[in-house]
Amino acid sequence: MKFDQPATQNPIDRQKVVGQPRDRIDGPLKTTGSAHYAYEWHEEVDNVAYGYVVGSAIAKGRISSIDTSAASRAPGVLTIVTAENAGPLGKGEMNTATLLGGPQIEHYHQALALVVAETFEQARAAASLVEVTYEKQAGEYDLAKARPEVKEPPEDTPDNVTGDFATAFAAAPVQLDAIYTTPDQSHFAMEPHASMAAWHGDNVTLWTSNQMIAWCRKELAATLNIEPENVRIYSPYIGGGFGSKLFLRSDALLAALGAKALQRPVKVMLQRPLIANNTTHRPATIQQIRIGTDTTGHIAAISHISWSGNLPGGTPETAVQQTNLLYAGKHRHTGLRLAELDLPEGNAMRAPGEAAGLLGLEIAIDEMAEKVGIDPIAFRILNDTQVDPTQPERFFSHRQLATCLREGAERFGWQDRVAQPGQVRDGRWLVGMGVAAAIRNNMVDKSAARVHLDPDGTVTVETDMTDIGTGSYTIIGQTAAEMLGVPLEKVIVKLGDSDFPVSAGSGGQWGANTSTAGVYAACVKLREQVAEKLGLDAAGLDFCDGYVQAGHQRFPLTDAARAGRLSAEDTMEYGDLDKQFQQSTFAGHFVEVGVDRFTAEVRVRRMLAVCAAGRILNPKTARSQVIGAMTMGVGAALMEELVVDTRRGYFVNHDLASYEVPVHADIGEQEVIFLDETDPVSSPMKAKGVGELGLCGVGAAIANAIYNATGVRVREYPITLDKLLAAMPEPTPEG
pLDDT digits (tens, 9 = 90+) for 416-434: 999 999 999 999 999 999 9
Q: What is the pLDDT of residue 731?
A: 74
Q: Residue 293 is inside which H or E element, if any?
A: strand 285-293
CA distances from 209 to 217, 231, 344 (A): 12, 15, 21
CA distances from 607 to 153, 405, 435, 623 (A): 37, 14, 10, 13
| CA neighbours closer than 13 Å in the CB half-sphere of residue 158 | 3
Q: What is the pLDDT of residue 735?
A: 56
Q: What is the pLDDT of residue 730?
A: 84
pLDDT digits (tens, 9 = 90+) for 475-522: 999 999 999 999 999 999 999 999 999 999 999 999 999 999 999 999
SS (H, E, C) 52-92: EEEECCCCCEEEEEEECHHHHCCCCEEEEEECCCCCCCCCC
- Nearest to residue 22, comparing CAs of 619, 573, 499, 541? 619
Domain segments of the chain as ranges = 2-35+444-579, 372-442+583-725
Q: Residue 432 is inside which H or E element, if any?
A: strand 429-441
- Nearest to residue 589, comparing CAs of 713, 379, 381, 439? 439
Residue 106 burial class via C-beta count within 10 angstroms: exposed 0-12, middle 13-18, buried 19 and up: buried
Catalytic residue among 121, 219, 692, 730: 692
Low-confidence residues in the chain, pLDDT < 50: none
pTM of the full predicted structure? 0.97
Does the annotation mark 692 as catalytic? yes
Please name the fold of domain 2-35+444-579: Aldehyde Oxidoreductase; domain 4 (3.30.365)
**Is there a shared CATH topology between the 2-35+444-579 domain and the 372-442+583-725 domain?**
yes
For domain 372-442+583-725, the CATH class is alpha beta
Q: What is the pLDDT of residue 734?
A: 60
Q: What is the pLDDT of residue 733?
A: 61
